[in-house]
Chain A
Amino acid sequence: MTFARSSLLAGMFASALVGCATTNQGFRVADQTYSSREQAAVAARQRNLRAEESIKAAGAPILSRKMLVVVPTPAAFSGWFEAKVVKQGKRYAQVGTSARSQDDLNAQLLTENLKSVAASIRRANLYQSVEVTEVDTTATNVQPTVDKDVLSFYATSDSTGLTPYFHSAKYGKQVVPSDVSTSDPVMRRQSFINEIKAKALQ
C-alpha cells in the first residue's frame, strides 16, 4: 500500500513537471535549436555573414542609379505575426512564453536578414549607393525615381510570407522570385542577388 501511495505522489509530481517543461523549448533558427536567444541570434548572423561574403563584387558600380531598401522594423514584423494569429481567432501567446519568444526572435532576425540582403546588394557593387530605410509597417509602396530603384518587402495579415518587390521608374513594380528549392543561405542569397541584377540591368 505504501508503494501505491508513493506511486500516486510520484505521478502527481511528474504531472506538475510536464506543465513546466512546455514553457521553454529553446530557440529555433533554420531547423537548429539553441538554448538561448543570444545563441540563436549569433547563429543567424553567422548565416547572414556567410551569405554576404559569397557575393562577388564588381570592380566599380555598374549603374549610375541608387537603390533604396525599405526594411520593416522588428516591431512591424511582430505586429504582422500577431495579426496573422488574431485573424484566425486564436489567442496570441503572452510575452515570455515559448511561442511568443520565438516570434519576437523571428521578428528581430527578419529585420537583420533584410539588412543583410541590402549589404549584399551593396557588396555586389551594382549601384552607386544602397540606402536602408526602416519603416514601422510591413505594407509599404515606396515610389522609385529615375535615379533610384526601390526594393521593398510586403506582407499583410492575409500573407503567408514576405514578398519582395523591385520597383523601378522605368519598369514598374516587379515581384522578385525567391529560390525556395534550397535551404542553404548562401545559395538562396546568390539566387536573390542574381534576380536583383537581372531586374536592375534589364
Chain B
Amino acid sequence: MLSAASSASAQLLTVPQPIWESLPANERAALSQRATVNVLPSEAFGTILDAQVLNESSAATTAGSELGAQIGRAAYVDNAFRGSPRNWNYSATGNLSAQIAGALIGSMMDKPAQPRFRTRYTVRKGDGNVEYIEEIRVDPLRHPVGLCVTLSPIRPTNTEICQLTREQLLTKLAVFARTPDASPTPTSSAAPAIPQNVPFEIVNLGPPPQEVKAPAATLAKPAQGRTAAAAAPEVAHAAQQSVPSADANLVRCRFGMAAPVNAPKASCDAAGGIVLP
C-alpha cells in the first residue's frame, strides 16, 4: 500500500478508490494533509483468478532464400554454357557462389518466426466485477493465479491493495499518521501500539502526537485533534486565496492563449495576465 517515492518530503500512499470513498470527506482531507495519497481506481487493479495461454505463433519461412539459390545457380549455368563449347567456362566454386548470392538476395523475402502468445486472464477487479483481460506477448510467460495486479498494463503490485479492508486501512493510517517520518511499517518500533479496543476511526490519525488530547476520539467530535485546515476545509479554501486578498474584485484575466478566468486583479497583474474589459 505504501510505495516509495523519491521526493524528499512526501511518501506516496496508494489507497484503493472504494475504501478511499468510504471515508468521510473531512477524514480524507486530514489524511491528505499527512501524506501524498494516490487513489487507485477500482477498474485499475484486481486479483488474477485464472490464466490461459494460447500459442498463436507462426513458423519461419525460407522460400525466398531457396528460390534465390535456385535462380542464382540456373543463371550461372546458363552463363557458363553459353555460346560455342570452346567458350564454356564452368567452375564448381562459381556455381556455389552464385547459389549463395542468390540465397542471400532471396532471403529478404523470407519471413522470420513470429512468436505470439495470447494470455487470457480472469481478473476480479477492485469493484468486485470479474472480467477477462487479454494480453499478447512474444513469450508464454504469464503471471500466477492469485497475484494482485494493476491493469493496463498488467503489472504486479502490492498484495495489500487487493486485500485491504477499511478497518485495516484505518489501523495502518493511524500508525502512519503518528509516525510521519518513520518507516511506514506498522511494526515499526517508533510507532505507538494501537489499543485493540479503540474504534478504528480515522480521527486517530489526525493530530501530531503532541497535539493529541484524547487518543480515542470518535467521529462524534469531528474537530477534535485535527488541524484547522482539515477540520474545516471550506474555511481553509477561503484562507488559501491569493495573497493580495484585500483585492476582492475579480476580473476576467487571460494568460496568453489560455481561456480567461476570474481572478483577483492584483494576482492577474502579478502573474503577467491581461485584464479583459
The answer to the question of A147 belonging to the interface, with a C-beta cut-off of 8 Å to chain B, is yes
In the complex, chain B residues whose CB is within 8 Å of the CB of A79: 153, 155
In the complex, chain A residues whose CB is within 8 Å of the CB of B213: none
Query: Among A9-17, A28-36, A44-52, A99-107, which stretch is in contact with chain B?
Result: A9-17
The answer to the question of B137 belonging to the interface, with a C-beta cut-off of 8 Å to chain A, is yes
In the complex, chain A residues whose CB is within 8 Å of the CB of B239: 64
**In the complex, are the beta carbons of B7 and A134 less than 8 A apart?**
yes
Taking the nearest CB of chain A, how far is it from the CB of B26, in angstroms?
11
Smallest CB-CB separation from A7: which chain B residue?
B101
Smallest CB-CB separation from A139: which chain B residue?
B44
Cβ-neighbour of A12 out of B5, B7, B100 (below 8 A): B100
Cβ-neighbour of B150 out of A131, A137, A169 (below 8 A): A137
Given A131-B7, A146-B233, do A197 and B135 touch, yes or no (CB 8 Å)? Answer: no
**In the complex, are the beta carbons of A1 and B89 less than 8 A apart?**
yes
**In the complex, are the beta carbons of A64 and B10 less than 8 A apart?**
no
The answer to the question of A132 belonging to the interface, with a C-beta cut-off of 8 Å to chain B, is yes
**In the complex, are the beta carbons of A1 and B267 less than 8 A apart?**
no
Taking the nearest CB of chain B, how far is it from the CB of A159, in angstroms?
9
Q: Count CB-based A-B contacts (< 8 Å).
A: 177
Interface size in chain B (residues, C-beta < 8 A): 70
**In the complex, are the beta carbons of A131 and B10 less than 8 A apart?**
yes
Name the residue in A88, A146, A158, A195 with the highest tally of chain B Cβ atoms < 10 Å from its Cβ: A146
Name the residue in B89, B94, B114, B256 with the highest tally of chain A Cβ atoms < 10 Å from its Cβ: B256
Given A62-B243, A147-B229, A157-B153, do A190 and B261 touch, yes or no (CB 8 Å)? Answer: no
The answer to the question of A53 belonging to the interface, with a C-beta cut-off of 8 Å to chain B, is no
In the complex, chain A residues whose CB is within 8 Å of the CB of B29: 145-146, 169
Taking the nearest CB of chain B, how far is it from the CB of A81, in angstroms?
11
List residues of chain A with CB under 8 Å of any chain B CB: 1, 4-5, 8-9, 11-12, 15-16, 56, 58-65, 68, 73, 79-80, 82-83, 86-89, 91-92, 124, 126, 131-137, 139-148, 156-158, 169-170, 179, 190-191, 194-195, 197-199, 201-202
Q: Cα distance A137–B152 when bound, in Å?
A: 11
**In the complex, are the beta carbons of B41 and A141 less than 8 A apart?**
yes
**In the complex, are the beta carbons of B38 and A135 less than 8 A apart?**
yes
In the complex, chain A residues whose CB is within 8 Å of the CB of B115: 91
Smallest CB-CB separation from B80: which chain A residue?
A1
In the complex, chain A residues whose CB is within 8 Å of the CB of B22: none
Taking the nearest CB of chain B, how far is it from the CB of A144, in angstroms?
7
Q: Cα distance A147–B135 when bound, in Å?
A: 41
